[in-house]
Amino acid sequence: MPRQTIQPPELFASKPWGFSRGALSEPGRTVNIAGQVAWDAEGKTNAEGLEGQFRQTLKQVFIAVEAAGGTPDHIQMLRLYIPNFQSRSDADVIAKVLVDVFGSENPPASSWIGVQMLAQPEYLIEVEAVAIVPN
């Protein structure tokens, strides 16, 4: 079953930023997607800038979910790891990409986590995902 989201009125309205406060799912297979970066099958960086890397990383998350029999609509949760995340402009870029990719009506839940660094200095973002794929 595709993602169903919750947005309690007592909490900050997050959907315009491209994420929901929570996501509900019916029973199914839980698919945990390891952290993806903008890296191709040959181990080379395949996108530039935060926006380009984020879009490429999400494409790779979708490939992994689809390999498990799901679709992007089955993604319930995203965890975004951003090195030295302090800038409002970075938050604006992330929100723009999330809204472009998932819309603002029913996006997955997400956490945006600032970290000191990722595995390689050229990585500007890493994304983990959890999807619930119907049996």
Query: How confident is the model over 70-92, as pLDDT tens digits?
Result: 999 999 999 999 999 978 899 99
Residue 47 resides in a domain: no
Closest C-alpha to 98, from 121, 82, 84: 82
Q: Which of 18-27, 85-94, 99-108 bottoms out in mean pLDDT, i.e. has the lowest?
A: 18-27
> Is there a domain that residue 109 lies in?
yes
Euclidean distance between CA atoms 83 and 126, whole angstroms? 9
Query: Range of 86's domain?
Result: 75-135
* pLDDT at residue 12, as a whole number: 79
Within-domain flag for 52? no
Query: Is the per-residue pLDDT at 1 higher than 70?
Result: no
Q: What is the CATH number of the domain that holds 108?
A: 3.30.1330.40
Q: Which amino acid is at 134?
A: P
What is the C-alpha to C-alpha distance for residues 101 and 82, in angstroms, rounded to an integer? 18
Q: Specify if 69 maps to a domain.
A: no
Domain annotation covers residue 89: yes
Residue 118 lies in a domain: yes
In the chain, the number of structural domains is 1
Question: Does the residue 93 lie in any domain?
Answer: yes
Residue 63 inside a domain? The answer is no
Taking alpha carbons only, the member of 70, 76, 69 closest to residue 5 is 76
CA pair distance 96, 127, nearest whole angstrom: 16
Provide the pLDDT for residue 98. 98
pLDDT digits (tens, 9 = 90+) for 25-80: 778 999 999 999 999 888 888 999 999 999 999 999 999 999 999 999 999 999 99
